[in-house]
Structure 1
Amino acid sequence: MTKGSFLTFEGIDGSGKSTQARRLAERLRAGGREVVLTREPGGSPGAEEIRRLLVEGSADRWSPETEILLFTAARRDHLEKTILPALERGAVVISDRFADSTRIYQGATRGELRTVVDQLHALMIGREPDLTLILDMDPALALSRGLARESGEDRFESMGQDFQDQLRTGFIQLARRFPLRCRMIDGNRDPDIVADEIMAVVERALR
């Protein structure tokens, strides 16, 4: 059995996940906890190499089936090299995205592939977070934020507004399916208010 706590942030592109994940990590560290802040795709050297294949380039660069395989390969390396070692030594692992993103981005919105996503997850990953915080935000606002970053990693944002709308619906349905693990957080509010609510939820979970 692992000793640490595994927390994930999910939500559509531009919803504030990365910012809130960093803020949570800072607050937990200030309270004396060891925290490993990581992300997907990525989070380990091998997974970061795969990340570039997934988030850069044209929207039609990969088929949904190929994306699922690439994400699963990156996640397996991330799990082996970063997540499990940190949990074993008792750290709090905070990941900006994990398997739920693949369930929604490829499994729920890009073809009838959810069964494939779940089967691969069971075979190759076999781990769920202890707590998942889903940042819910108006898709139009989130999309404008994501594109404004001009990070070069905007392949999914380039798929447009309809795609973002589908993603939001998928995350809402996910929260309903896994109510014990997932918490919906209204990301349309002031970031300080959002951060305070997240901290309160996490403190209860870590008791």
Structure 2
Amino acid sequence: MAADKMKEKLFNKLGWICLTIFSVLAAIYMIAIYVFKLDSDQISALTNLFLAFATFTAACTAVLFFTDWREQHDKSISNQFAWKVIDSFDLFDISFMNFLKSLDDLEKKIENPQSFSDELKNLDRAALILLIETKSMKFNLSNFRESLRKYSVYSSKEDWYREQEEKIYDLFLNLNLDHLEKNDSKHIISGIKSSLDKITPQIYYFEHEVIDKLINQLKSKI
């Protein structure tokens, strides 16, 4: 917003300067012709002065419009990468929600074995499948990290990205539950729930401190 106001002031100032110079030159031209009765060579010199002024004005205007176009183009690319960040996080968040649902279903089967008697023999297998879902989350998290990196490059936010990358790396480590791969569903569930105490606030951070702020920035540019 501040940059837009600055450009508006610059355009207004340039317009007034050009109008003032044009008015002065026009007055000089009229006085030269009708008052001082200049000859053709002198009038030609004044005409060349007008042409020089027109060339200068056109050059200034071209520079301003080119700068404005370049800034708009850069903003457009940055916005595209911002949406990719949001989309990649949505995929990660969906995989996390599916993971929580699978975890909840598995807990219900263990807590109420009489209601799921036919499925109890597959509990350990279901628990291992749950761990496989964490690999899907890590894959989506890697895509989110890469989208965030590209956005930071085009938005000149490399320092900010390095801070986020550290947090992503911590989350990635907490999602690494390979050490739980044992044929014991209760052991797996216990380990997962322990890790969730760290994972959940980390995901909450990205959702509110990164994604929500990006969305608000994009809305403010519409």
Return the TM-score normalized by structure 1. 0.24
If each structure's helix is expressed as a fraction of its own residues, which one has the higher value? 2
If each structure's strand is expressed as a fraction of its own residues, which one has the higher value? 1
Return the TM-score normalized by structure 2. 0.22
Structure with greater Cα Rg: 2
